[in-house]
Structure formats: structure tokens, C-alpha cells
Amino acid sequence: MKLHELTIAQASGLLKNKEITSVELTRAILDRIEAVDGRVGAYLTVDADGAMAQAKAADQRLADGDAAPLTGIPLGIKDLICTQGLRTTCASKILENFIPPYDATVISRLKNAGAVIVGKLNMDEFAMGSTTEHSGFQVTRNPWNLDRIPGGSSGGSAAAVAADMCLGALGSDTGGSIRQPASHCGVVGIKPTYGRVSRFGLVAFASSLDQIGPLGKTVADCAIMLDAIAGHDPRDSTSVPEPVPTFSAIAENGLSDVVVGIPREYSSAHGLDPQVGAAVERAVKTIESLGARCIEVSLPHTDYAVAAYYVIAPSEASSNLARYDGVKYGFRDRTQTDLLQMYRSTRTQGFGPEVQRRIILGTYALSAGYYDAYYGKASQIRTLIKNDFQTAFASCDAIISPVAPTPAYPIGETLDDPLTMYLSDIFTLSANLAGIPGISVPCGFSDDGLPIGLQIMGRHFNESMLFQIARQFERAATLTDKKPLL
């Protein structure tokens, strides 16, 4: 097996036994990026020198007997997580040359765990989108078919993991942005419970929904990464002081005591591709054969989820993005001498069309006289959706659904049709509205060879249950060894 094809768990074993070094592994990843990223376009910034220096330091730690599971492991980071001294753009022209003066908490935790940060990964600008076409800099292509989208907004993270350009990656998920690209690229991705992972140093999109999480080649690798980044952080008041189990240790249990809910409303959801429906049905059978009991549950307010999300997320975005005014940091149109003109021109040039659309929508929804009708109403629906899950989880331990209604579609297909793109978030954004965790794990391929993902959602802070089911399912489905031909 080639070094870049290793999983984190495999590489970690080889590093610990001194069969390989982190310098060799990191070199192999940089060579792989050199060889294939010209076609995929996953990285916005590759920090070759920094990565090699971190690899050398990791080898020293390994020589000193420090064999933490991430020591010496090359990872990629979505470009909206601050990395000290390393450009962080949010894939936006407005932050094109922004170099953060500090590390996000997740980055300092990864560094403390010995991980090697290879570079920063492409995304939809400020994480707004589901295709990674809305990047201010480049389109990322799906490694399984270069004419297709990789999904989004963490499309660079998913594509880089799928194409072996890092062993694992961090993404962020506000309405599906970890799970959906993971599904489209045939990798595993988990959105942890809201509050499980610190967001200090995550550039905010919609603060009541955003959550950081890992993408990996296997369920076990995601558990290893989540172990490193989870837990309370005094610098993020929304992070919760709940005890954090060792996820990588509990993923091996069987499923005989597990009850899985299948939402009635999801099978008739708008635009569900029959191939996706069939793959998920087969997955349910597999999970039953592993000992779980499957029952029908109801999430009656599903129909309102997309509408509620697309009021709440743009509203919060319009508020969060007010800080990009050309004064404090980022791009400024220096040709303007009048303050208001400078604001206007900076934001018009600095933000792309999708971000501008969200700001306009959100500003409208929050404006005097409309607040109750839009944001207020959407918040009430959000409570109903949260209650739906609470009721369902009274009779089951986890809920299973598709991740995306269709496999990855051709690049360009929804560029002029944002509504179709928004509607494709139907299965993922409810978990964000409710704050519950969700994982995407590969469950099959379409007739034309595109990956299909299965979503498993669980109770607040019960990521362990998701890892347990996903791990057993992954073992039974035996899809992990399938690789895109690049």
C-alpha cells in the first residue's frame, strides 16, 4: 500500500513501530497533492515547509516515546478555521490575504496531539453553499468524476480525503456541510452535537448552527480526530462542559440492543433519487442483519425545515458578516475617499454573489417590522423540529436517512438556481436546527459510479451511538477499500 493511501489508524501503528516516519508520510502527501490537485483543486494553500517542520518535530516526539494517535499524521483544514501565521481566506476575496494572529482551539488541540497541518482546503465562500462552486477562488472537482461537484461547503475537505491528499480533515457544518460532501465523495464525516467542539477561531456563518467536525477515510479515523478536538473550551461560551467519552474506544460494540428509527416523511421527500432510496433501504437491511431493531418514526415538521433554515442562517450571516467593512481587516477598496462609498465598494467587490444574496435576504428578514414574521416564525418552527426529534428519540436510539437526495450532480447545474441547491439540504439541516449529532458513512454507489452516503443521527451528546452503528455498518458494507481512479 502506498503511504498516502493509509488510514490514520494504520499510519499511526506504523509510526509507533518506527516502520515509517512522519517526514516520509508528509512527503508522500505533499507529492500526492503535487500529482493530483491540479485536477481536483481541493487546496487553497499548501504549507509544504511548515508541514515538513511539524513532521520533523513529530518524529522527535515519536522517538521520545509519545505515540498519541495523531502524532505525525498529516491533516488538511477547511479554510475558515484560523491557523496562526497561515492564510485563512474563507474562500472569499474579502479575506484573500488574511493571516490570523492566533490558532483556533481545534488547531491548538490538533497541534498538541502532534498532528501535521498540511494546508487549507477550499469551500463555498463563508461556507454558504452545497457545491464548493461558490468559492471566490476555484472550483473543486469530485475525485470520483471530475465533471461533478464534490458537494459543499466542505468540498475541499471531502475531496482531499477521498483523493488521499491528507489522511483526514476538519470541516464545518451549519446545514450539512460536513455530511453532504462526505456523502458525495465517499468518505466519512460527522457533525458533532452543537456545543461539543469549541468554535473559538472558527469564522462565524450562522452562530446558532455552526459546528466543527472531522472527515476521514473510516469511522475509526473520525473518532480519533473527534477525540482530539472535542470538549469544553472557556474561550467559547457555547461549548458545553459535558464529559467526553473516548470515541475511538467505544466504536466496536455490537448492535443487538440498538433501536433504529426510519422517518416516515423522508421516503416521500421532494426530489429523492430512486437509486439513493434503494441504497438506503439496503443499508437499513444490513443494519437489521447486524442485530438492530428498525422501527418507523415520524418527524412531522420536516416540510418546514428548509424554509426555517433559509431564514435563520442568512439572518445570522447578515449580522456576522457586518464586521467585514474594509476597516479592521481584510480587503479595502482604497480608491474610495468617502466612508460610506468605501464600505459599499469594499463589500460589493469583496463578497461573491451567493454571500451577497444571503446578506440581502438576512438583512431583510431581520429588519424592523419583519423580524416577527420571519426570524421569529422560523425560530418557532425550529422548536417544533427539535420537539419532533425528542419525541422520536423516546422510542429509538438513532435515526437513519439519506444524506443528500441525489448523488453528486454536474458542475454548473445549480449555479443559476439557488433554490434547487437549497432544497437539496432537506435531510441534513434538521440536525443543525435541533443541535443533534449526525454522521455520514458510505453505503453504496450509483449506476454511474458515484458514492452514496447514509446518515445516522442521534441524541444530543450521543456521538458514541453514531460511531457504534456506523462502525458496524462500515465493516459489513466493505466499501472502505474502493478508491476513485485519478
* Residues that bind ligand GLN in the complex, under the rule CB under 6 A: 127-130, 153, 173-177, 205, 313, 425
Q: Which of 392, 170, 408 is nearest to 301 (CA)?
A: 392
Nearer Cβ to ligand GLN (417/448)? 417
Catalytic residue among 177, 198, 424, 464: 177
Q: How far is the CB of 272 from ligand GLN (least distance, A)?
A: 17
As a whole number of angstroms, the distance between CA 204 and CA 37 comes to: 28
Catalytic residue among 22, 78, 92, 464: 78
Q: Which of 313, 330, 476, 335 is nearest to 382 (CA)?
A: 313
Nearer Cβ to ligand GLN (26/130)? 130
Nearer Cβ to ligand GLN (47/316)? 316
Q: How far is the CB of 360 from ligand GLN (least distance, A)?
A: 15
Residues 6 or more apart whose CB falls under 8 angstroms from that of 34 comprise none
Is 78 an annotated catalytic residue? yes
Nearer Cβ to ligand GLN (119/362)? 362
Q: Which three cell numbers stand for residue 383?
A: 422548536
Q: How far is the CB of 8 from ligand GLN (least distance, A)?
A: 24
Helices (H), 230-334: 274-289, 305-320
Nearer Cβ to ligand GLN (34/417)? 417
Q: Torsions phi, psi of 145, nearest 5?
A: -165, 110
Q: How far is the CB of 130 from ligand GLN (least distance, A)?
A: 4
Q: Which amino acid is at 357?
A: R
Sheet holding 168-173, edge to edge: 43-46, 116-121, 74-78, 168-173, 211-216, 188-191, 438-445, 451-458, 398-402, 259-263, 293-297
Q: Which three cell numbers stand for residue 113?
A: 496531539
- Cβ(204)–Cβ(236) under 8 Å? no
Is 56 an annotated catalytic residue? no
Q: How far is the CB of 133 from ligand GLN (least distance, A)?
A: 12
Catalytic residue among 153, 172, 239, 315: 153
Burial class (CB in 10 A: 0-12, 13-18, 19+), 478: exposed
Cα distances from 268 to residues 272, 303, 386, 475, in angstroms, run 7, 11, 21, 29
Q: Torsions phi, psi of 43, nearest 5?
A: -95, 135
Catalogue the E-assigned strands of 231-365: 259-263, 293-297
Q: How far is the CB of 178 from ligand GLN (least distance, A)?
A: 7
Cα distances from 339 to residues 242, 320, 327, 328, in angstroms, run 46, 20, 10, 13
Q: Which three cell numbers stand for residue 52?
A: 515538513
Q: Is the peptide bond before 153 cis (omega within 30 degrees of 0)?
A: yes
Is 153 an annotated catalytic residue? yes
- Cβ(145)–Cβ(408) under 8 Å? yes
Q: How far is the CB of 405 from ligand GLN (least distance, A)?
A: 13
Helices (H), 218-273: 219-229
- Cβ(6)–Cβ(39) under 8 Å? no
Nearer Cβ to ligand GLN (208/286)? 208
Nearer Cβ to ligand GLN (12/318)? 318
Q: Which of 424, 300, 433 is nearest to 379 (CA)?
A: 433
Q: How many Cβ atoms from other residues are within 10 Å of residue 51's Cβ?
A: 24
Q: How far is the CB of 426 from ligand GLN (least distance, A)?
A: 11
Q: How far is the CB of 396 from ligand GLN (least distance, A)?
A: 25
Q: Which of 178, 238, 205 is nearest to 428 (CA)?
A: 178
Which residues have a catalytic role annotated?
78, 153, 177
